Amino acid sequence: MSDDVQQKKNSAGLAKMVVVAIFAFGLTFALVPLYRIACEKVFGIRLERTAAEGVADAKAPAAKRVITVQFDGGVNSKLPWDFTPNQVTMQVVPGEQYETTYHARNTAQRTIVGSAVPSVAPARASGYFSKTECFCFTAQTLQAGEVREMPVRFIVDPNLPADVKTITLSYTFFKNDTLTAQAQGTAKAATTPASAP
């Protein structure tokens, strides 16, 4: 009889586990609409958009708003580079991607590594200005006398406040002392002949 009792206990335990698993599975599906309701009612965020709304938004002819983007560039006094934008201003339509370039030249007689620090003005526009490709993402190495065109691709968010008509994108290049020392050490090692044993 004890085997029958043990088997019934095992069956009851298994049945409880199956019920708990089904309940948990059902709860995960119930959380989706609960999350959607919480987002919409509590936070005011609308998550659900139908395909028709998305197509209508894409086809809706928006008034072509034009923003002026000004470009500026400079270097820190410790960096012997010339650095200027090739284009001082550009008229852009928010939501579209644009590209501009900056001209950099190392005026020193040695390899130098520089790092660019971007700045967007006015400050409240910085959250609406996205760089998709930029020389500022990595340090730039210029050999002695080297000249380089440095591209920047960007998009101005269509949600930019209406009273912002002009955005200024400015870069300041600083000498990266650590990487410059490494680059110059590598260059010296490459040019120093190995001594014979």
Retrieve residue 50's tokens: 């139908």
Helix/strand/coil percentages in the chain, nearest 5: 40, 35, 30
pLDDT in the model for residue 110: 92
pLDDT tens digits, residue range 148-167? 999 999 999 999 999 999 99
pLDDT tens digits, residue range 7-31? 878 888 888 888 888 888 777 767 7
Q: What are phi and psi of 129, to 5 degrees?
A: -115, 115
